[in-house]
Amino acid sequence: MTRVGFASLATVAASLAVACADATSSSAPTSPDSDRSVTKSGLARDTNPNLTQEEKQAYEEGSLALTTDLLAQLRKEGSASKNLAYSPASIALALSMPYAGARGETASEMAKAMHWTLPQDRMAKVYNYASLQLAERMKEAQAAAAARSSAGADRLAGENGIRPATASPLANGSNADDIRIHSVNALWADQTLTIESPFLDSMAVNYGAGVTRADFIGKPDSERKAINTWVSRETRDKINDLLPENSIRLDTRLVLVNAMHLKMPWDEPMQKQGAPLTFTQGDGAAKQVPSVGQLESLGYFENSDVQAVRVPLLGGSVAALFVLPKRDLDSFESSVTPAALEAIRAGLASKRVNLTLPVFNFTSDSISLKNILKSLGMVRAFDEADFSAISASTKLSIGDVFHKAMVGLDENGVEAAAATAVVMLKNSASGDQEQPKVFTANKPFMFMIEDLPTKTVLFAGHVHTP
C-alpha cells in the first residue's frame, strides 16, 4: 500500500481505489499492517505517465458520464429524497484494479459500464496519471497556504514591527496542516491465492501497490474488521464500517480497497451569516439552518432551468460546483445528462455573486453497488467472470462492491471522504461594478467537487436536508 496526498475542504468524503503511491516516491509498496507479508512486483511506480490529449479527453468524458449514471441508479435505489454523497473517482479507481486482470466479455462489459473507451493497458495509465495529478493539487494548495502565511506575517510586522514565528496562513484561521488531499489504495489476498506476475507488475507500476496477505478462510470477520480499521485510519475516522457484517466470507479471496480524504479551505474566506437561512426541503417543509456566504467574483451560469456557481478551494485547482434548479431538484436530476452538466461547466463566466450556502455535514450509508453495476451492464464480473489475468489457478468473480462517502461544508471550507471495496470471491473576470448575482441555496440542490485540470468528479451528490 502506498499513498498520495488529497486536499481538504471542510467536510467531504471520498475514495479513489487502488493503492496509490506518493507522487514524490518510487519506493516499493508496503503492507497496510507492518506485521503482515506482502506479495509485490519488483517494478517501481511510473511517476511520469504520458497521455495523449485524446486519452485525457476520453477520461474526462467518462468521468462525467459515470457520475450521471451512478446518480440515476442511486436515485432508483432510494436516494432521490434524502441526502446523498458518493465518489465517482473512488468507485472508478477501485474497479480499475480488477479490470486490469479481466479478460474477454468480462472486461468488455466492465469497460462499457464504466465508460472506459481506451485500451485496457492505457486505462491503468490514465488512473495512474489522475492519481498523481491529485498529489500535485496538494502541493499547490500547500504552496498557496505558505504564501498567504508569509504575507500575513509581513503585514503584522509592518503594523507593529514584530514578525511572528508562525502565522495563520488563511484569513479564516485555518492552518496549513488542515490541508489534505489523500488517496490511498490497498489489496488484501487470501494466503492461498496465487497471483499472476503481470497483474502484480500492473499494480506496482500504475498504482504503487502490493498485495497484503490475509486469512479470509480461517478468520473472515477478523479480516473484515482489520480492513475497516485501515479505512477509518486513512480517512481520519470519516469513513467507518465500510464493509458490513458477513461481507467477507469463507470463499473471499481478494479485496481491493480505495480510501480518499479531502480537506481544504475556501480560496476566499466565507463568513457565518448572522441570521439563519430558511431552507425549504423537498417535502415542502421549511427549516431554519445556519449558513455561510461571500460576495466574490465567481464562475456563474444561469439559464431557464438552473443557477450554478463554482467556488474554488485553496489554490484554485479544486473547486465545488453547486447547481440550484429553478423548479425542483427531482425534476432536474431525473433527466440530467453529461451534456447538460458539461454545458453548465462550459457556460460558467466570472460574475460578482452574493453567495449563501447552508452549513451541512452528513455521511451516506455504506451501500452495495452490485445491482447498480449490473444495471449498467457489468454482469459477467459478478457471475461467469474471467479474471484469469489476476489468478490463473483460482476462478474469481466479484462478490460485491461496497461504497461509503461523507461531505461537509462550513465557513472554513469543505471536507469529504469516501471508500470503495471490491470483494472478489472464489467461484463455485471583470464586471465588478455590475449588480451581483444572487445565489441562495435555500432548497434542495446538487453538488460536485471537481479537480479542474483533469475534470475528475471527485465527489457528487445532493442536499435535501442540511
Looking at residue 1, its pLDDT comes to 37
Q: Are residues 241 and 297 in the same domain?
A: no
Q: Residue 12 forms beta bridges with which residues?
A: 407, 416
Q: Are residues 317 and 331 in the same domain?
A: yes
> pLDDT of 71-117, one tens digit each?
999 999 988 889 999 999 999 999 999 999 999 999 999 999 999 99
Residue 376 sits in the same domain as residue 454: no
Per DSSP, the three-state class of 83 is: coil
The span from the CA of 371 to the CA of 402, in Å, is 11
Are residues 457 and 421 both part of a single domain?
Answer: no
Mean pLDDT computed over every residue of the chain: 87
Burial class (CB in 10 A: 0-12, 13-18, 19+), 1: buried
**Cβ contact 74:176 at 8 Å:** no
25 with 127, same domain: the answer is yes
pLDDT digits (tens, 9 = 90+) for 338-394: 999 999 999 999 999 999 999 999 999 999 999 999 999 999 999 989 999 999 999
Same domain, 373 and 441: no
Residues 183 and 84 in one domain: yes
Q: Are residues 109 and 32 in the same domain?
A: yes
Which residue has cell 455590475?
A: 434
Asked whether residue 290 falls in the same domain as residue 436, the answer is: yes
pLDDT in tens, 253-295: 999 999 999 999 999 999 999 999 999 998 889 999 999 999 9
pLDDT value of residue 148: 81
Stretch 323-335: mean pLDDT: 94
- 138 with 227, same domain: the answer is yes
Q: Are 147 and 158 within one domain? A: yes
**Per-residue pLDDT, 152:** 53
pLDDT > 70: percent of the chain: 85
Q: What is the CATH number of the domain that holds 33?
A: 3.30.497.10
Number of domains in the chain: 2
Which pLDDT tens digit goes with each residue over 393-416?
A: 999 999 999 999 999 999 999 999
d(CA 448, CA 310): 9
What pLDDT does 293 receive?
96
CATH code where residue 450 lies: 2.30.39.10
Q: Report CA-CA distances (Å) from 21 to 91, 132, 237, 322.
A: 18, 8, 21, 31
Judge whether 402 and 421 are in contact, CB under 8 Å.
yes
Helix, strand, or coil here: 431? coil
Domain holding 129, by residue range, is: 2-266+362-426
30-52 pLDDT, tens digit per residue, is: 456 667 889 999 999 999 999 99
